[in-house]
Homo-oligomer: A and B are copies of this chain.
């Protein structure tokens, strides 16, 4: 079944977000908007998440990048339908871009749609895509001071994932301070630590997703 897209939906960011949200709800698709700095490990985390879930659930991915299809190719090689959005310099995805490509997906058959946003800890936080959950990935080499320094992102996300805990012996990152800083900005936020590379802590994230499936 293909989505019918009315042209006027594409005129306004917030209208498009409302449209997307209604469509996702109608088709019982769980939609997760993944955000982070460049290089925090979103794509690697997605690859490992897909490997853990794809036998049980139908998954699709939207990949946002300024340029190249590199990340989309990585996800496609796992046998997952992936649509690439190239923003050609644009610093975030918006709901109109998502609405425009929804007809490419057979949503009623899709359990989970991951949206990998542009690597940017600022702009993506201000754009509702119609997702169910916003997740931000912060990697240990970035330092735990990024939570107070980029408060808008951490205030508006449901879950903060600290990735690359395998690098903790080699970098300055205080997990307890990060969690405390997060609670100050966003008392409802959830907090998971993991390494997508080694698999440490992945079960907590997989459990978090499974609990939210419709």
Contacts and interface: CB of A to CB of B under 8 A. Distances in A.
A39 B141 contact: yes
A121 interface: yes
Contact of A121 (B119, B145, B152): B119
Contacts of A151: 66-67
Nearest to A89: B152
Nearest to A67: B151
Contacts of A122: 66, 89, 91, 118, 120, 123
A208 to B, nearest CB: 24
Chain A, interface size category, equals: 20 to 34
A131 interface: no
Nearest to A88: B152
A143 interface: yes
Contacts of A65: 149
Given A66-B122, A119-B37, A164 B149 contact: no
A175 to B, nearest CB: 15
Given A37-B119, A122-B91, A167 B148 contact: no
Contact of A142 (B39, B120, B121, B148): B39
A139 interface: yes
Contacts of A148: 67-68, 70
A70 B145 contact: yes
A142 B139 CA distance: 9
Interface in A149-170: 149-152, 164, 166-167, 170
A146 interface: yes
A180 interface: no
6 contacts: A37-B37, A37-B142, A68-B145, A70-B148, A89-B152, A91-B122
The 4 tightest CB contacts between A and B, nearest first, are A39-B142, A141-B141, A91-B122, A37-B38
